[in-house]
Amino acid sequence: MSIKFIDDLTLDIYIKKELIDNIDFNSKDDLEKYLKKLFKTLKNKYQLVIEGFYDIEVYIDKYYGVVFHLEKEDIDYYDYYKNQVDMRIITTDTEFLYLVEDIPFNLLNNVNIIIKDNEVYLKIKKELAKYEMMELLEISRVVYDIK
């Protein structure tokens, strides 16, 4: 798991698929249970307290895993409810892109190359071996919301 803070009210949580294999993202109950467990882990392990009202966008990629994009609503009303989370959840099945500077030769058969706005992205077209996925993640930045 990795966390990227975008600003004071927004963060992304990246979780590889090995850690979420048994979660049914189409089930609202399963997803809410998982998020509550995740928030507890963030609090206990990283001292990151998630409380208040959040818009949560869940981006699901069959090769990488999931990105939770959390945006906290800046509403004073919810300040009265410490240690509580209210959330509006939207799930999106998508295909992540990987922003790279150099294209690894050994991955050419398993990825498509996309050039957009003078930047090079790789899109996985078939399952990568674990070491290939690790190599790709080391040299790239995961992009889940390219328009």
Secondary structure class of 128 (helix, strand, coil) = coil
Q: Is pLDDT of 80 > 60?
A: no
Q: Copy the structure tokens of residue 70.
A: 């959390």
CB 31 within 8 A of CB 64: no
pLDDT tens by residue, 22-52 = 888 888 888 989 999 999 999 999 899 888 8
pLDDT of 85 reads 81
Q: What is the per-residue DSSP string for 34-49? A: HHHHHHHHHHHHH---
pLDDT of 76 reads 62
Stretch 53-77: mean pLDDT, rounded?
89
Q: Is pLDDT of 53 > 70?
A: yes
pLDDT tens by residue, 103-134 = 889 999 999 999 999 999 999 999 999 999 99
Give the mean pLDDT of the chain. 89
Q: Is pLDDT of 102 > 80?
A: yes
CB 91 within 8 A of CB 25: yes
CB 107 within 8 A of CB 135: yes
Q: Is pLDDT of 100 > 90?
A: yes
pLDDT of 86 reads 83
pLDDT of 138 reads 94
CA 105, CA 93: separation in Å to the nearest integer? Answer: 28
Buried b (16+ CB within 10 A) or exposed e, 89-112: eeeeebbbbbbbeeebeebeebbe
pLDDT of 81 reads 59
